[in-house]
Structure formats: C-alpha cells, structure tokens
Amino acid sequence: MSLENKEIPAAPSDFIRDIVAQHVAEKKYPQIHTRFPPEPNGYLHIGHAKSICLNFGIAHEFGGVCNLRMDDTNPAKEDVEYVNSIIEDVNWLIAGWADDKLGLKPKGKTPETVTSNGRPDFYLGHSTLNPQPSNGLEPFYASDYFDQLYEYAVALIKKGNAYVCDLTPDETDEYRRNAKESPFRNRSGEESLDLFTRMKNGEFPDGKRTLRAKIDVTAPNVWMRDPLIYRIRHADHHHTGGKWCIYPMYDFAHCLSDYIEGITHSICTLEFEVHRPLYDWILTHLDLPRPLPHQYEFARLSLTYTVMSKRKLLQLVDEKLVTGWDDPRMPTISGIRRRGVPATALRAFAYNIGITKYNGLTDVAVLEHAIREDLNKRALRRLAVLRPIKVVLTNYPEGKTEELDAVNNPEDENAGKRKIPFSRELFIEQDDFKEVAVPKFFRLKPSGEVRLKYAYIIKCDEVVKDAVGNITELRCTADLDSKTGGPTANRKVKGTIHWVSAAHAIDAEVRLYDRLFTVPEPDKATAAAGSELSAEPRANDFKSTLNAHSLEVVTAKCEPSLKDAKPELRYQFERLAYFALDKDGAPGKLVLNRTITLKDTWAKEAQKG
C-alpha cells in the first residue's frame, strides 16, 4: 500500500458529525448528501481545505456523497480560471481518499421536471460518482438552475410571497434599517409578475428594480426584512453567457440549489448563521415535495502568520507581492501543493484542528507539525549543502573515489539504499564549522573531530583564509579506519555532519521559503503604529508586516543521485529540510522548493547564547 492511499487517522467526532450520526441511526435519509459550494471568484485556500475535508469526510465516513458545486450567481466576480483551479484543487485534496464520494453530473445536464410524491418537482437525480471528472462529467453549477430558480421566483410572486420593488439601493438600505415597508410592497401579484418578466427581458437597467421576498420588515433579524432575491445585472456569465440579465441572490439560489441536488446536510461557516431563518423560509414557502435540506454552521479557519481573505490574497497577487496564486508562500491549496505539502498532510491537519462554533486562531505550528510528520515517513534522504565551504582531506589520495552506502529512508526499510561518491575534496555546510566554537557546538572546529555521515571521522588541522579574512578552505585529516563499517567506526564523536564530494556534486537552484508574514496576526497590524498609537487596523496595513526574507534563493551542491529527482517524490536534505521539485525546473535544471525545515533544536539553543 502506498503512502498516498494510506488512511488518515481515526475519524474525528464533532457536533456536526454527531448530528449526522444520529440521522443515520434514525434512518432519516436514504443517503447522506453534502456539498462543497465555492464561489469561483478566487483560488481555494487552506480554509476551504477545512471545509472540503469536513464535507467529503462526512460523505466518506457515513457512506454518503459530496457534490462539488460552483456557487456562481454573481457574474461580475466569477471566472472560468477560478472554476478550473477549484476543480484541480479539490481533486488533488481528495485523491485516494474520498474521490469515490465526489458527486458530479453528466456535462450539460440540468434539472428535470419530475413528479415527486405526486407533485411536480425539479430534481437533478442522483449524483454520478466517478473519480475522473474529465470522463464526460462536470461539477454542479448553481447557474445551471437559473431556469428553475426563475420558476420558483414566479411561484413565490403568485403566492403573494414576493414582489417587485422599485426602490433605489440607498432607499432600500434606509427602509430596511428603519424597519419601514417599501411603498411597492403591496402592489398586485399581477403587476409584480409583469415587471419581473420585463426585468428578465432586459427592459430595465441595472439597479432599477429588484425582486424581494415578502416576509417581515420589522423582524429583528434584518435578513428577514424583505430580502432581495433577484437583481438586474446586464453582464455575461462565465457559464450561461448572455442568456440572463437578472441573477438570483445567494440566499435564494443556495437553499434551492441544495434542494434540487437532494442535499441533506448543507454545511457552511458561521457568518451564515443569521441567514438560516431565510434559508428555511424560502424552502418552506415553495411547497416542495421532497425532504428539505438543513443548514449547519461551523467556525472558519484562522491561522497565525497568515491572511485568509480572498480579497487580501488577490491583492498580494495583483500587486505582485507574490508570484501568483500558486506562489509556495501563499495559503492557497495550489500554493501549498507547489510548496511540496502532500495532500495527506493537509488532510491530517484538517482532522487535527476539529470542528466547532468557536472562532479561534490556530497556531501555524499545528500545520507545520502535520507536514513534518507526513514528510518524515515518506521523504527520501539525500545529502546536499546549501551554503558550501570547501574541505580538503590532506591524507586522502588524490584522484581516488569511493562509493559509500547510504540509507534512503530510515523510517521505511523498503526505500532501500543508494551509493554516494566520496573523494579528497568535499563541501560541507558553513553552519557546520565554527572557528571559535561556543561550548555546546559539537560540529567541526579547529583541532576538533566530527563524523561525516556514512563516511569518515575527520579532524580540522588548518583554516585557510583569503586576504580579507574570509575562510576559503578547511584542511583536514581523516581517520581512515573510521569509515562506516570500518575498524574504528564505532569510535564516538559527538557530531555528525552532511557533505558532498566537490567533484561529483551537481548544482540545484534551491528556493528557501519562510513565513510570508512576520507577525502572528497580520490582519490586526497597524502600519502607522509609530504615529498613531492604538490606531485601528486599516485594510492595507497587513502588507506592512510582509516578511522581507520569505524567499531566499541559493545554489546548492547536491549529491549526484538528485539528478533523477521526481516531481511526485519528496526529499529530505539530511539535517536541513524537506524539499520538492518545482515546476520551474527542466531537464538538466534542478529547481527545488523548501517545503519546511527540520526542527532545529540547536538553533534554539544557540539563540539562548
């Protein structure tokens, strides 16, 4: 069994899963049916990953289905680029885990008019389960239901539960704030129907009229104060083209999309909690013949050292503060993937943080731990030197090369071994030599000994410097009996360091990524903290906390086996970090991204002084 298919830890329990489990026990529904409904107006981020893992996790654990649906009712903000990235990201995240629960539909399929329980109904039929979306299948689109939503709106008007309103946007706001009835509230159903038809036919400009649900303008919950359910937008839609100039609002489209698809559990984030009465109102006022979906809310994810809002992420992209949506420093799923994080690690993280209604702030260390735990098990060990310093072994024959055995992964016997060339001239890490060593520094120092991993114990005899005092070379002698497996191999020296043979090393462009922000809560940053004490954070202030050193590029010296590195594999440069191939690489040009460093207890110790 490969790591990709390895099951993630025991299914968690939370208040939503408890509800679902109860419904399953009661046999309340023939099948549990969730959905993941992003708006295609940006790339998915790690907060969406939490939602994906919840919705697909429930489908996975309770034998259900989870539809992927584009919540695309606002043509102004949405784009096919985003649709495609969403499909790619979801498929990547659920691959080998819940891809058999992914609900799709045949391309172009729209809801059918059927009879359910003796009454007319719109229903899409059962979702198609298929892990290959390219196979004539596509995700669901709220925009595929525009015909049906229009019919539902007409039905509401005919029942006296909706009316066309001519108030301007400002007036609408004012009336709603003051709990005042619109003067158009009591116009006849016939007149509303006529005006709604003409809205649809394009007779009015944007903003001229709206369709509103007739509920209760004095309701304490403002979303019940005759909310808008349709507005005029003369704009092409990425999926329906120029067919429509009126578009349904979220509240109207979402609950009915859930219904049309046969969703049982409609799970969303906390900010929609106040919308739930409206969700229920619309569904219960349309005399729908099948069981109604129900909405449940959980807290969205916040992470330290991260911004999560699509607006801010878009700003980073637009202002070229990162290289794109998939910049490995971005908290987007595509960025995280490019950074080298396996989907299994992201899923483990999502499971570990749990689901509640408390708006907390999760320490990014929890994510980092999940990544390290995953990578430790799968990464192939390699020797590579990021910042080289030359070492010459004066007692080792010139021109001699040995092939030394090296373990590919101590956590996985099946990963096997490889050969590493060893010779008289080597590179070691600058950090692994100190001319004036501090007490607990047990790496290489003048007259000190250190083990070269898989090779010999060496002793530093001489430090060679250039005219300005920079170290150019270390001249060392090797204990030629101390080679791994040799007579004095068990001689104890405190330190072991990594190295590469200078003559055999290959170069790689290595991108050392660090956190994008320097403070735990960039959203709370105040740019002008000096001049305006206790100032409220302003919309753009988060950019003042960007980490200037979030990317450093070095040319590393790597052991030659790395020329065969594969994009689907992960590598650990021993004692340093985990790496993955970047798409910018080419045959003969190695480009690696640092996914995450190894834990570095020494760095912490050294900082203490």
Q: Element (H or E) spanning 141, and its range?
A: strand 140-141
> What number of chain residues touch RNA (CB under 7 A)?
95
Residue 376 contacts RNA per CB under 7 A: yes
Task: Please tell me which residue in 77, 109, 187, 300 is annotated as part of the active site.
Answer: 300
* Cα gap 155→266, rounded to integer Å: 24
Neighbours of 432 (CB within 10 A): 21
- Active-site residue, 203 included: no
* Cα gap 466→6, rounded to integer Å: 54
Minimum CB distance to RNA, residue 136 (Å)? 26
**Amino acid at site 127:** S
Minimum CB distance to RNA, residue 114 (Å)? 26
Task: Return the residue of 497, 556, 562, 581 that touches RNA, per CB under 7 A.
Answer: 497
Range list of H helices, 393-534: none
Minimum CB distance to RNA, residue 434 (Å)? 8
Minimum CB distance to RNA, residue 495 (Å)? 6
Answer whether 229's CB lies under 8 Å from 63's CB: no
List of E strands, 349-387: 380-382, 384-385
The nearer residue to RNA, 158 or 311, going by C-beta atoms, is 311
Residue 203 contacts RNA per CB under 7 A: no
423-462 residues in contact with RNA (CB under 7 A) are: 440-443, 451, 453-455
Task: Return the residue of 468, 492, 586, 609 that touches RNA, per CB under 7 A.
Answer: 492
- Residue 267's nearest CA partner among 299, 296, 293, 291 is 296
Residue 334 contacts RNA per CB under 7 A: no
Minimum CB distance to RNA, residue 467 (Å)? 30
Residue 501 contacts RNA per CB under 7 A: no
**Amino acid at site 334:** S
Minimum CB distance to RNA, residue 244 (Å)? 12
Minimum CB distance to RNA, residue 390 (Å)? 20
Stretch of 315-323, 366-374, 533-541, 551-559 lying at the interface with RNA (CB under 7 A): 366-374
559-578 residues in contact with RNA (CB under 7 A) are: 572, 574-575
Residue 416 contacts RNA per CB under 7 A: no
Q: Which two tokens stand for residue 30?
A: 């023939």
The nearer residue to RNA, 176 or 329, going by C-beta atoms, is 176
508-567 residues in contact with RNA (CB under 7 A) are: none
For the CA atoms of the chain, what is the radius of gyration?
31
Residue 366 contacts RNA per CB under 7 A: yes
125-144 residues in contact with RNA (CB under 7 A) are: none
The nearer residue to RNA, 241 or 360, going by C-beta atoms, is 360
Q: Which two tokens stand for residue 395?
A: 């007692």
The nearer residue to RNA, 315 or 352, going by C-beta atoms, is 352
What are residue 103's phi and psi, to 5 degrees?
Answer: -85, 125
Answer whether 478's CB lies under 8 Å from 435's CB: no
- Active-site residue, 300 included: yes
- Residue 150's nearest CA partner among 105, 189, 108, 201 is 201
* Cα gap 60→99, rounded to integer Å: 9
Task: Please tell me which residue in 50, 101, 105, 310 is annotated as part of the active site.
Answer: 310
Minimum CB distance to RNA, residue 85 (Å)? 16
Residue 172 contacts RNA per CB under 7 A: yes
Task: Please tell me which residue in 39, 61, 373, 509 is annotated as part of the active site.
Answer: 39
DSSP assignment of 402-425, as one string?
EEEEEES-TT-GGG-EEEEEE-SE
Show the CA angle centred on residue 351, arms to residues 349 and 354, nearest 5°: 110
Residue 204 contacts RNA per CB under 7 A: no
The nearer residue to RNA, 136 or 207, going by C-beta atoms, is 207
Residue 9 contacts RNA per CB under 7 A: no
* Cα gap 458→479, rounded to integer Å: 6
Residue 150 contacts RNA per CB under 7 A: no
Query: Exposed, middle or buried: residue 604 (CB in 10 Å: 0-12, 13-18, 19+)?
Result: exposed
* Cα gap 234→35, rounded to integer Å: 29
* Cα gap 44→174, rounded to integer Å: 35
Residue 216 contacts RNA per CB under 7 A: no
Residues designated as active site: 39, 300, 310
